[in-house]
Amino acid sequence: MKRIVGFRILKTAIGSALAIFIAEGLGLKYAAAAGIITILSIQNTKKTSIKLAFQRIESTVLALLISSILFLTFGYSPIIFGIYLIIFIPITVFLKITDGIVVSSVLVTHLLAQKSSSMFWIRNEILLMAVGAGIGIIINIYMPKIENEIKETQRNIEEHMRIILFHMAEALRNQSVHIEEERIFNELESILEQGKNRAYRHLNNYIINDAKYYVDYMEMRSLQYEILKYMRSHFMKFYLTLEQTEVVAAFTEKIASNFGEYNTAEELLKELNEIVVMFKAQELPKTRDEFENRAMLFQFLNDLEALLELKKKFWTYVNILDVKS
C-alpha cells in the first residue's frame, strides 16, 4: 500500500510539472493553473479520472459562458462574480457536473482579474483546462495492478469461511459455540469490505475490457456471509445430539474442506439432496424435543443449500459471460 501511495505522489508531481511546461510552451497565461488541474485530475482509477476530466471541461465551458455574459453586461466586480456563482452552481447540480465547480470558478477569476472576456482569454482558460485534464488522463493510463492483492483477499475470505463451517460442524456435535466465533465473523466482515473496495478499484481501471469477475465474486461471498450470520442463531437452539446431527455435521465439514474459488458446488448440492431424501424416509421423531431439533436441522440444511446455490449461480453466470465473450 505504501508503494502505491508513493507511486501516485510521483505521478502527480511529474504530471503537474509537465502540464505547466506544456501550458507555458503554448504561451498560455496563468500556466500554473494547468498544473493544479492535473493534481485534481489524478484519481485512484482510470474511469474516475476520465469521468472527472469530461465533467470539468463541460463545467468550464458553462462557467465561461455564464461569467462572460454577466461580466460584459454588468462589469467586472466581486459582486458580479458572486452572482455568477449563484447562477452557475445550481446549474451544475442539475447537470450533475458539480466536480467542476471549483476549478471552473478559479478559471473565471482570471477573467475577473484581467477585466476581459475576449476570445484570447476564453481560449486561454479552455486550453488550461484541456492541458491539465488531458495530462491527468495520460498520466493515469498506467495504474499498478492489484490482482495479486485481490487474490490474497479471496484466499483470506475463503479461509475464514472454511473455519466458520468447521466450527459450525463442531457446534452441532457439542451444542456449544466456538470461543473465537465473534472475532472470526468480525474479521471476515472487514476482509469482505476490503475485498469489495479492491474489486471495484480493479474494475474501474479497465476502460474497455470487462473486469467484473472479482466484483461479482465479492458480492457472492458477501451474500454467503449474510447466510452464515443467519445460521449462527441456530446454534443457540440445538440441545440434543441426534443421529441426524452427526450426518449434518459431517456434511458441513465436507463443505468446509471443499470450500474454494473454483468449486462449482454442484456435487455438494447433489449430496445435500440425498441427505434430505434419506432424512424424509426415516422414522418420525417420538418426542417434541426430537421434533423441534429435527426441524432445526432441516432449516440448517436449507441454509447450507442457499449457501451452495449462490456459488453454483455464480459459476453459471461466469460461464455464460465466457461463452458470450
Q: What is the pLDDT of residues 164-178, one digit of tens each?
A: 999 988 888 877 666
Q: Does residue 231 sit in the same domain as residue 171?
A: yes
Number of Cβ atoms within 10 Å of the Cβ of 89 = 14
Q: Does residue 46 sit in the same domain as residue 108?
A: yes
pLDDT at residue 1, as a whole number: 43
Could you write out the DSSP letters of every residue in 65-115?
Answer: HHHHHHHHHH-S-HHHHHHHHHHHHHHHHHHT-GGGHHHHHHHHHHHHHHT
Q: Does residue 86 sit in the same domain as residue 165?
A: no
Separation between Cα atoms, residue 115 and residue 12, nearest integer Å: 32
Domain count across the chain: 2
> In which element (H, E) is residue 176 found?
none
Q: Which of 27-31, 115-119, 233-237 has the lowest mean pLDDT?
A: 233-237
Q: Return the amino acid letter for 183.
A: R
- Please give the residue range of the domain that contains residue 35: 2-139
Number of Cβ atoms within 10 Å of the Cβ of 10 = 11
CA angle 252, 255, 260 (to 5 degrees): 150
How many alpha carbons fall within 13 Å on the CB side of residue 23? 30
Could you write out the DSSP letters of every residue in 190-219?
Answer: HHHHHHHHHHHHHHTT-SSS---HHHHHHH
Q: Does residue 230 sit in the same domain as residue 184?
A: yes
Q: Does residue 195 sit in the same domain as residue 110?
A: no
Answer whether 205's CB lies under 8 Å from 46's CB.
yes
- Read off the pLDDT band of 241 (50, 70, 90): low
Q: Does residue 88 sit in the same domain as residue 181?
A: no
Domain boundary among 139, 163, 188: 139
Q: Does residue 162 sit in the same domain as residue 308?
A: yes
Separation between Cα atoms, residue 194 and residue 205, nearest integer Å: 17
- Read off the pLDDT band of 265 (50, 70, 90): confident
Among residues 218, 215, 194, the alpha carbon closest in space to that of 206 is found at 215
Three cell numbers written together for 175: 451444542
Separation between Cα atoms, residue 3 and residue 64, nearest integer Å: 40
User: Residue 203 sits in a domain of what CATH number?
Assistant: 1.20.120.940
Classify the C-alpha dihedral 243-248-254-256 as positive or negative.
negative
Q: Does residue 94 sit in the same domain as residue 179?
A: no
pLDDT at residue 239, as a whole number: 53
pLDDT at residue 122, as a whole number: 96
Q: Does residue 130 sit in the same domain as residue 154?
A: no
Q: Does residue 122 sit in the same domain as residue 165?
A: no
Three cell numbers written together for 268: 455438494
Domain boundary among 139, 174, 196: 139
pTM of the model: 0.65
Distances in Å between the Cα of 307 and the Cα atoms of 212, 284, 301 are 21, 27, 10
Among residues 184, 178, 300, 295, the alpha carbon closest in space to that of 251 is found at 300
Which range, 43-47, 99-103, 175-179, 233-237, is most confident?
Answer: 99-103
Separation between Cα atoms, residue 35 and residue 201, nearest integer Å: 25
Separation between Cα atoms, residue 107 and residue 121, nearest integer Å: 10
Separation between Cα atoms, residue 251 and residue 169, nearest integer Å: 8
Percent of the chain whose predicted confidence (pLDDT) is above 90: 48
Q: Between 192 and 10, whose confidence is greater?
A: 192
Rg, C-alpha atoms of the chain: 30
Domain boundary among 114, 139, 164: 139
Q: Does residue 175 sit in the same domain as residue 235?
A: yes
pLDDT at residue 99, as a whole number: 87
Q: Does residue 130 sit in the same domain as residue 274?
A: no
* pLDDT, mean of residues 122-139: 92
Number of Cβ atoms within 10 Å of the Cβ of 13 = 14
Q: What is the pLDDT of residues 23-70, one digit of tens each?
A: 999 999 999 999 999 988 877 777 777 888 888 999 999 999 999 999
